[in-house]
Structure 1
Amino acid sequence: MNGVGRGRRERPVPAGPLRDFAEGLRALRAAAGRPSYRALETRAGYSASALSAAAAGERLPSLPVTLAYVGACGGDMVAWEHRWHLACATCQPPADAANWPATRTSRLRRRRAGVAVALFLAGLVAVRVLTHEPPSRPAPAVPQTSRRQDPQDP
Protein backbone atom coordinates (compact mmCIF):
# COMPACT_ATOMS: atom_id res chain seq x y z
CA MET A 1 0.00 0.00 0.00
CA ASN A 2 1.37 3.40 -0.91
CA GLY A 3 -0.30 5.31 1.93
CA VAL A 4 -2.61 7.28 -0.33
CA GLY A 5 -6.15 7.48 1.05
CA ARG A 6 -8.76 5.93 -1.17
CA GLY A 7 -11.27 5.02 1.52
CA ARG A 8 -14.14 6.99 3.00
CA ARG A 9 -14.80 10.55 2.07
CA GLU A 10 -14.40 13.10 4.80
CA ARG A 11 -17.49 14.71 6.24
CA PRO A 12 -18.17 18.28 5.22
CA VAL A 13 -16.63 20.88 7.52
CA PRO A 14 -19.32 22.49 9.68
CA ALA A 15 -19.96 26.19 9.33
CA GLY A 16 -18.24 28.23 11.97
CA PRO A 17 -15.06 30.10 12.81
CA LEU A 18 -12.86 27.04 12.21
CA ARG A 19 -14.17 26.24 8.74
CA ASP A 20 -11.35 28.04 6.87
CA PHE A 21 -8.74 26.53 9.17
CA ALA A 22 -10.01 22.96 8.71
CA GLU A 23 -10.49 23.37 4.98
CA GLY A 24 -6.94 24.72 4.76
CA LEU A 25 -5.62 21.59 6.49
CA ARG A 26 -7.63 19.40 4.11
CA ALA A 27 -6.31 21.33 1.10
CA LEU A 28 -2.77 20.89 2.39
CA ARG A 29 -3.33 17.13 2.67
CA ALA A 30 -4.79 17.09 -0.87
CA ALA A 31 -1.74 18.94 -2.19
CA ALA A 32 0.46 16.30 -0.54
CA GLY A 33 -1.28 13.59 -2.60
CA ARG A 34 -4.03 12.69 -0.11
CA PRO A 35 -1.97 10.41 2.11
CA SER A 36 -4.07 8.27 4.43
CA TYR A 37 -4.30 9.33 8.04
CA ARG A 38 -2.43 6.13 8.93
CA ALA A 39 0.44 7.24 6.69
CA LEU A 40 0.34 10.72 8.23
CA GLU A 41 0.36 9.10 11.66
CA THR A 42 3.81 7.62 11.05
CA ARG A 43 5.17 10.91 9.72
CA ALA A 44 3.57 13.21 12.29
CA GLY A 45 3.91 11.19 15.47
CA TYR A 46 0.24 11.66 16.40
CA SER A 47 -2.60 9.19 16.10
CA ALA A 48 -4.64 9.00 12.92
CA SER A 49 -7.75 9.94 14.90
CA ALA A 50 -6.06 13.08 16.30
CA LEU A 51 -4.95 14.13 12.82
CA SER A 52 -8.39 13.43 11.36
CA ALA A 53 -10.01 15.44 14.16
CA ALA A 54 -7.64 18.32 13.44
CA ALA A 55 -9.12 18.65 9.94
CA ALA A 56 -12.71 18.01 11.02
CA GLY A 57 -13.35 21.63 11.98
CA GLU A 58 -15.31 20.82 15.14
CA ARG A 59 -12.66 22.21 17.49
CA LEU A 60 -9.31 23.87 17.19
CA PRO A 61 -6.55 21.28 17.45
CA SER A 62 -3.60 21.96 19.70
CA LEU A 63 -0.68 23.80 18.16
CA PRO A 64 1.62 20.73 18.34
CA VAL A 65 -0.96 18.57 16.52
CA THR A 66 -1.48 21.29 13.91
CA LEU A 67 2.24 21.67 13.27
CA ALA A 68 2.74 17.91 13.10
CA TYR A 69 -0.11 17.65 10.54
CA VAL A 70 1.35 20.50 8.49
CA GLY A 71 4.88 19.10 8.68
CA ALA A 72 3.71 15.63 7.65
CA CYS A 73 2.04 17.19 4.60
CA GLY A 74 5.09 19.29 3.73
CA GLY A 75 3.46 22.62 4.54
CA ASP A 76 4.92 25.88 5.81
CA MET A 77 4.98 25.43 9.57
CA VAL A 78 5.71 29.10 10.35
CA ALA A 79 2.74 30.26 8.29
CA TRP A 80 0.49 27.64 9.89
CA GLU A 81 1.61 28.58 13.39
CA HIS A 82 0.57 32.16 12.63
CA ARG A 83 -2.70 30.91 11.16
CA TRP A 84 -3.32 28.79 14.28
CA HIS A 85 -2.83 31.82 16.56
CA LEU A 86 -5.31 33.81 14.46
CA ALA A 87 -7.86 30.98 14.65
CA CYS A 88 -7.27 30.69 18.38
CA ALA A 89 -7.95 34.39 18.85
CA THR A 90 -11.25 34.21 16.97
CA CYS A 91 -12.56 31.18 18.86
CA GLN A 92 -14.04 31.51 22.30
CA PRO A 93 -13.04 28.79 24.74
CA PRO A 94 -15.81 26.71 26.27
CA ALA A 95 -16.90 27.91 29.70
CA ASP A 96 -15.64 24.74 31.40
CA ALA A 97 -12.30 24.56 29.59
CA ALA A 98 -9.28 24.82 31.84
CA ASN A 99 -6.63 24.12 29.19
CA TRP A 100 -8.25 25.27 25.99
CA PRO A 101 -7.67 24.31 23.23
CA ALA A 102 -7.45 20.72 24.38
CA THR A 103 -7.44 17.69 22.20
CA ARG A 104 -8.30 14.13 22.95
CA THR A 105 -4.66 13.41 22.26
CA SER A 106 -3.40 15.57 25.12
CA ARG A 107 -5.93 14.01 27.52
CA LEU A 108 -4.93 10.57 26.29
CA ARG A 109 -1.27 11.36 26.83
CA ARG A 110 -1.97 12.55 30.39
CA ARG A 111 -3.95 9.38 31.06
CA ARG A 112 -1.17 7.22 29.62
CA ALA A 113 1.41 9.09 31.70
CA GLY A 114 -0.66 8.45 34.82
CA VAL A 115 -0.90 4.76 34.00
CA ALA A 116 2.85 4.64 33.34
CA VAL A 117 3.59 6.23 36.72
CA ALA A 118 1.23 3.81 38.48
CA LEU A 119 2.87 0.82 36.77
CA PHE A 120 6.32 2.11 37.65
CA LEU A 121 5.38 2.50 41.31
CA ALA A 122 3.76 -0.95 41.35
CA GLY A 123 6.98 -2.35 39.90
CA LEU A 124 9.04 -0.68 42.61
CA VAL A 125 6.80 -2.16 45.29
CA ALA A 126 7.01 -5.61 43.68
CA VAL A 127 10.81 -5.45 43.54
CA ARG A 128 10.95 -4.34 47.15
CA VAL A 129 8.66 -7.15 48.26
CA LEU A 130 10.49 -9.80 46.25
CA THR A 131 13.97 -8.73 47.35
CA HIS A 132 13.08 -8.02 50.97
CA GLU A 133 14.88 -10.29 53.42
CA PRO A 134 13.10 -11.12 56.62
CA PRO A 135 14.81 -9.65 59.64
CA SER A 136 17.17 -12.00 61.43
CA ARG A 137 16.04 -13.16 64.81
CA PRO A 138 17.47 -11.07 67.57
CA ALA A 139 19.57 -12.76 70.23
CA PRO A 140 17.64 -13.59 73.37
CA ALA A 141 17.54 -10.66 75.67
CA VAL A 142 19.70 -10.94 78.76
CA PRO A 143 17.57 -10.33 81.80
CA GLN A 144 18.64 -7.19 83.50
CA THR A 145 18.44 -6.68 87.16
CA SER A 146 16.50 -3.85 88.50
CA ARG A 147 18.97 -3.32 91.30
CA ARG A 148 21.03 -0.21 90.93
CA GLN A 149 24.68 -0.48 91.42
CA ASP A 150 26.03 1.84 94.06
CA PRO A 151 29.35 3.29 92.93
CA GLN A 152 30.66 2.78 96.42
CA ASP A 153 29.84 -0.93 96.51
CA PRO A 154 32.83 -3.19 95.97
Structure 2
Amino acid sequence: MSGAGKRTSGRPQSAVRGDGATSRFARALRGLRERSGTPTYREMARRAHFSYTALSKAADGRRMPGLELTLAYVRACGCDEREVDQWQRLWQRAQAELAQALQTQAFASLLRTRRRHDRASVVLVDREHFHLRGYREV
Protein backbone atom coordinates (compact mmCIF):
# COMPACT_ATOMS: atom_id res chain seq x y z
CA MET A 1 0.00 0.00 0.00
CA SER A 2 1.48 3.37 -0.94
CA GLY A 3 1.71 6.34 1.37
CA ALA A 4 -0.18 8.58 -1.06
CA GLY A 5 -3.17 10.20 0.58
CA LYS A 6 -2.34 8.71 3.94
CA ARG A 7 -3.19 10.95 6.86
CA THR A 8 -0.18 11.96 8.96
CA SER A 9 -0.34 12.10 12.70
CA GLY A 10 1.85 15.15 13.31
CA ARG A 11 5.36 15.12 14.63
CA PRO A 12 6.68 11.79 15.83
CA GLN A 13 6.71 11.52 19.61
CA SER A 14 9.93 10.89 21.46
CA ALA A 15 10.23 7.55 23.22
CA VAL A 16 8.90 7.23 26.74
CA ARG A 17 11.81 6.49 29.05
CA GLY A 18 11.75 4.54 32.27
CA ASP A 19 9.75 1.67 33.62
CA GLY A 20 7.87 3.31 36.49
CA ALA A 21 4.14 3.71 36.80
CA THR A 22 4.09 7.02 34.91
CA SER A 23 6.09 5.63 31.99
CA ARG A 24 4.00 2.48 31.74
CA PHE A 25 0.79 4.51 31.87
CA ALA A 26 2.04 6.83 29.10
CA ARG A 27 2.94 3.85 26.90
CA ALA A 28 -0.54 2.40 27.53
CA LEU A 29 -2.16 5.69 26.46
CA ARG A 30 -0.02 5.76 23.32
CA GLY A 31 -0.97 2.18 22.57
CA LEU A 32 -4.65 3.08 22.89
CA ARG A 33 -4.17 6.00 20.49
CA GLU A 34 -2.44 3.73 17.97
CA ARG A 35 -5.21 1.11 18.21
CA SER A 36 -7.78 3.85 17.58
CA GLY A 37 -6.15 4.78 14.27
CA THR A 38 -3.58 7.32 15.54
CA PRO A 39 -5.74 10.43 15.40
CA THR A 40 -3.78 13.67 15.62
CA TYR A 41 -3.77 15.42 18.97
CA ARG A 42 -5.63 18.32 17.32
CA GLU A 43 -8.41 15.93 16.28
CA MET A 44 -8.48 14.49 19.77
CA ALA A 45 -8.58 18.00 21.27
CA ARG A 46 -11.76 18.78 19.34
CA ARG A 47 -13.40 15.65 20.76
CA ALA A 48 -12.01 15.92 24.29
CA HIS A 49 -12.33 19.68 24.90
CA PHE A 50 -8.74 19.78 26.16
CA SER A 51 -5.87 21.43 24.35
CA TYR A 52 -3.81 19.29 22.01
CA THR A 53 -0.79 20.21 24.13
CA ALA A 54 -2.41 18.81 27.29
CA LEU A 55 -3.36 15.60 25.49
CA SER A 56 0.15 15.21 24.08
CA LYS A 57 1.71 15.78 27.50
CA ALA A 58 -0.64 13.20 29.02
CA ALA A 59 1.19 10.53 27.02
CA ASP A 60 4.75 11.86 27.15
CA GLY A 61 5.69 9.96 30.32
CA ARG A 62 7.15 12.92 32.17
CA ARG A 63 4.36 13.23 34.72
CA MET A 64 1.17 11.42 35.52
CA PRO A 65 -1.89 13.08 33.93
CA GLY A 66 -4.87 13.91 36.08
CA LEU A 67 -7.92 11.67 36.00
CA GLU A 68 -10.11 14.15 34.11
CA LEU A 69 -7.50 14.56 31.36
CA THR A 70 -6.92 10.80 31.19
CA LEU A 71 -10.62 10.06 30.76
CA ALA A 72 -10.96 12.78 28.11
CA TYR A 73 -7.97 11.26 26.24
CA VAL A 74 -9.57 7.81 26.42
CA ARG A 75 -12.94 9.09 25.20
CA ALA A 76 -11.24 11.00 22.38
CA CYS A 77 -9.81 7.67 21.26
CA GLY A 78 -13.37 6.37 20.88
CA CYS A 79 -13.64 4.22 24.00
CA ASP A 80 -17.08 3.35 25.32
CA GLU A 81 -18.05 3.86 28.97
CA ARG A 82 -17.07 0.31 29.96
CA GLU A 83 -13.56 0.94 28.62
CA VAL A 84 -13.49 4.37 30.26
CA ASP A 85 -14.24 2.66 33.60
CA GLN A 86 -11.34 0.24 32.99
CA TRP A 87 -9.01 3.17 32.30
CA GLN A 88 -10.17 4.87 35.48
CA ARG A 89 -9.22 1.77 37.47
CA LEU A 90 -5.87 1.58 35.64
CA TRP A 91 -5.23 5.24 36.50
CA GLN A 92 -6.11 4.59 40.16
CA ARG A 93 -3.70 1.63 40.31
CA ALA A 94 -0.93 3.75 38.77
CA GLN A 95 -1.61 6.52 41.30
CA ALA A 96 -1.43 4.01 44.16
CA GLU A 97 1.86 2.69 42.83
CA LEU A 98 3.24 6.23 42.61
CA ALA A 99 2.13 6.98 46.17
CA GLN A 100 3.83 3.82 47.42
CA ALA A 101 7.04 4.73 45.59
CA LEU A 102 6.98 8.22 47.12
CA GLN A 103 6.51 6.77 50.60
CA THR A 104 9.46 4.45 50.04
CA GLN A 105 11.62 7.36 48.85
CA ALA A 106 10.55 9.48 51.81
CA PHE A 107 11.37 6.70 54.26
CA ALA A 108 14.80 6.21 52.66
CA SER A 109 15.39 9.94 52.94
CA LEU A 110 14.47 9.85 56.62
CA LEU A 111 16.92 7.03 57.19
CA ARG A 112 19.68 9.05 55.48
CA THR A 113 18.75 12.04 57.65
CA ARG A 114 19.01 9.88 60.75
CA ARG A 115 22.52 8.85 59.80
CA ARG A 116 23.56 12.49 59.37
CA HIS A 117 21.97 13.73 62.59
CA ASP A 118 22.65 11.46 65.49
CA ARG A 119 19.93 13.07 67.62
CA ALA A 120 17.22 12.31 65.09
CA SER A 121 15.40 9.05 65.25
CA VAL A 122 12.95 7.56 62.81
CA VAL A 123 9.76 6.32 64.40
CA LEU A 124 7.93 3.78 62.29
CA VAL A 125 4.25 3.99 63.19
CA ASP A 126 3.27 1.31 60.70
CA ARG A 127 4.37 0.26 57.21
CA GLU A 128 3.06 3.45 55.65
CA HIS A 129 3.43 6.10 58.37
CA PHE A 130 6.58 7.36 59.99
CA HIS A 131 7.99 10.59 61.37
CA LEU A 132 11.21 12.04 62.74
CA ARG A 133 11.54 12.49 66.47
CA GLY A 134 14.18 14.85 67.77
CA TYR A 135 15.16 16.15 64.33
CA ARG A 136 17.06 19.42 64.26
CA GLU A 137 19.01 21.19 61.54
CA VAL A 138 22.77 21.33 62.12
Do these two structures clear the TM 0.5 threshold for a shared fold by scoring above it? yes
Per the alignment, residue 107 of structure 1 pairs with none
Q: 1:4 to 1:74 in 2, by over 3 A?
A: farther
Give the share of equivalent positions with the same residue, in percent. 41
Please tell me whether residue 77 in structure 1 is matched to residue 80 in structure 2: no
Per the alignment, residue 141 of structure 1 pairs with none
Structure number with higher strand proportion: 2
> What do the CA deviations read for 1:12-54 (whole angstroms, capped 9, x no partner)?
1120321221111001100111100000000001000100000
Per the alignment, residue 120 of structure 2 pairs with none
Count of matched residue positions in the alignment of Structure 1 and Structure 2: 93
Contact map agreement 1:29 1:35 (CA 8 A) in 2: yes
Q: Secondary structure at the match of 1:8?
A: coil
Per the alignment, residue 29 of structure 1 pairs with 33
Q: 1:3 to 1:68 in 2, by over 3 A?
A: farther
> What do the CA deviations read for 1:79-118 (whole angstroms, capped 9, x no partner)?
0000000011111498xxxxxxxxxxxxxxxxxxxxxxxx
Unaligned runs of 5+ in 2: 103-138
Please tell me whether residue 12 in structure 1 is matched to residue 15 in structure 2: yes
The 1-side partners of 2:6 and 2:41 are apart by 12
Contact map agreement 1:22 1:55 (CA 8 A) in 2: yes
Structure 1 moving runs of 4+ over 6 Å = none
Q: What's the Cα RMSD here?
A: 2.2
Please tell me whether residue 66 in structure 1 is matched to residue 66 in structure 2: no
Unaligned runs of 5+ in 1: 95-154
TM-score under structure 2 length normalisation: 0.62
Q: Secondary structure at the match of 1:74?
A: coil
The within-5 A match list for 1:1-154 is 5=9, 7-15=10-18, 16-75=20-79, 76-92=83-99
TM-score under structure 1 length normalisation: 0.56
Contact map agreement 1:70 1:77 (CA 8 A) in 2: yes
Per the alignment, residue 151 of structure 1 pairs with none
